[in-house]
Chain A
Amino acid sequence: MSESPSKTEFLITRRFAQPLARVWEAWSEADQFQKWWGPKGCRIDVQRFEFRPGGFLHYAMNFPEGPAMWGRFAIRELVPRERLVWLNSFSNERCGIARAPFSERCPLEIQNSVAFAQEGGATVVTLRARPFGEMDDERAYFEELHPSLDEGYGGTFDALAAHLK
């Protein structure tokens, strides 16, 4: 992605000790993918795994407390062992797109772009994420809520409380 970094872009890089083929397999096979993807303590149940451009990955996020939440990846680009681009969103149980259960203004979709690179016997994974096609209001949500801890909780919290409903 060539746009200049903004405060709504997120970047994370991780080096894995295993070769690229092995790391790619963990992304591209449903039974492996659901073992590692997702927040800690959350059990992922993959319902649909169409690992190709235009395909959907659809999954339930099960937490020990509370109802299941659903999410999906809509895959846009896929170059095996090289690049993966998808739109991530919450969803309903039929794989339809849905708003975040906790906010009306949280952008509907986040675009994730991952580059895979082999370095010796290891693999470097670089992920960039940013809101996709966000409305002004959704952009404001980020900008208002972007970490600025020194300012205290006031504004942030008021904005969130107003949108909890």
Chain B
Amino acid sequence: MRLDPLSQAFAALADPTRRAILARLATGEATVNELAQPFDMTQPSISKHLKVLERAGLISRSRAAQTRPCRLSAAPLQQVAQWVGTYRQLWEDSFDQLDALLQSTTPPSIPTPARKGKSHVRKPKQD
């Protein structure tokens, strides 16, 4: 399923390395080398994080210079920061999904296999 921009930003922000990269970029643009230094990480793994941030629209990278410096993009971060906007998106998404679920399932007058009083336990698969 394609992620909406807000979910993409959330997913990108969930990782501490990526938050640290953003905090660094908040002080000004930087190259991959400069970003890799404080993290004790290889360039390819920093590049992977940068790709996630770029796809989420949180940073942009210059095509002009060979070092392709990264810079922060404010708009999606601002969207995440706006609590009311975030909450509206969450509930609009959820209600759309609820609507789809209600339309696709049988009405309660037709009995479905009962599963009462049991708390649902399922191990999440980590992606």
Contact = CB atoms under 8 A, between A and B. Distances in A.
Interface of A: 7-8, 10, 12, 14, 16-19, 21-23, 25-26, 29-32, 34-43, 45-50, 60, 62-69, 101-103, 106-107, 110, 125, 127, 129, 131, 141-142, 145-147, 153, 156-157, 159-162, 164-165
B108 A21 contact: yes
Interface of B: 1-4, 6-8, 10-15, 18-20, 22-23, 26, 52, 55, 72, 74-75, 77-78, 80-85, 87-103, 105, 107-108, 115, 119-127
Contact of B23 (A12, A19, A164): A164
Given A65-B12, A66-B52, A39 B93 contact: yes
Nearest to B3: A41
B91 A127 contact: yes
A44 B87 CA distance: 17
Contacts of A165: 19-20, 23
A30 B82 CA distance: 29
A60 B102 contact: no
A65 B52 contact: yes
Contacts of A65: 8, 11-12, 52, 55, 127
Contacts of A64: 3, 11, 127
Contacts of B102: 16-18, 22-23, 26
Contacts, number: 187
Nearest to A67: B14
Does more than half of chain B's interface fall in helix, strand or loop, or is it mixed? helix
Contact of B120 (A18, A25, A46, A131): A46
B14 A63 contact: yes
Contacts of A60: 124
Contact of A30 (B78, B99, B119): B119
Contacts of B120: 30-31, 34, 46, 49
Contacts of B115: 29, 31
A66 B108 CA distance: 38
